[in-house]
């Protein structure tokens, strides 16, 4: 799936969740990539390196939003 399609899909999912008044607990790999502004391959690499926890349900890989936040907290921003 192209980055543009992934971003569109993530935007639609976020819009749908906002209409329902809920925040998603989990996101798909492409949604996580769009949230972080990286490629899906980067997300896959983080999962493989065990820097990002993910669960597989059927053929879908789900990532907890809390796991994304925890990974970012564990890797503080670089000071310039």
Could you report the per-residue pLDDT of 27-79, keeping only the tens digit for each?
999 999 999 999 999 999 999 999 999 999 999 999 999 999 999 999 877 77
Between the alpha carbon of residue 40 and those of residues 7, 9, 18, 21, 30, the distances in Å are 11, 13, 24, 27, 6
pLDDT at 1 exceeding the cut of 60 = no
Tell me if 79 is assigned to some domain: no
Q: What is the pLDDT of residue 78?
A: 74
CATH of the domain at 27: 1.10.1660
CB 27 within 8 A of CB 62: yes
Conformational region of residue 37, where left means phi above 0, alpha means psi within -120 to 50, and beta covers everything else? left
Entry pTM: 0.71
The domain tally of the chain equals: 1
Q: What is the pLDDT of residue 13?
A: 73
Q: What is the pLDDT of residue 26?
A: 92
């Amino acid at each position: 799936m192209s980055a543009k399609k992934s971003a569109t899909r993530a935007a639609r999912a976020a819009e749908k969740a906002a209409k329902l008044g809920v925040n998603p607990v989990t996101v798909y790999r492409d949604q996580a990539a769009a949230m972080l502004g990286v490629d899906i391959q980067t997300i896959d690499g983080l999962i493989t390196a065990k820097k990002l926890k993910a669960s597989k349900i059927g053929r879908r890989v789900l990532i907890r939003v809390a796991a994304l936040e925890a990974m970012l907290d564990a890797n503080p921003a670089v000071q310039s």
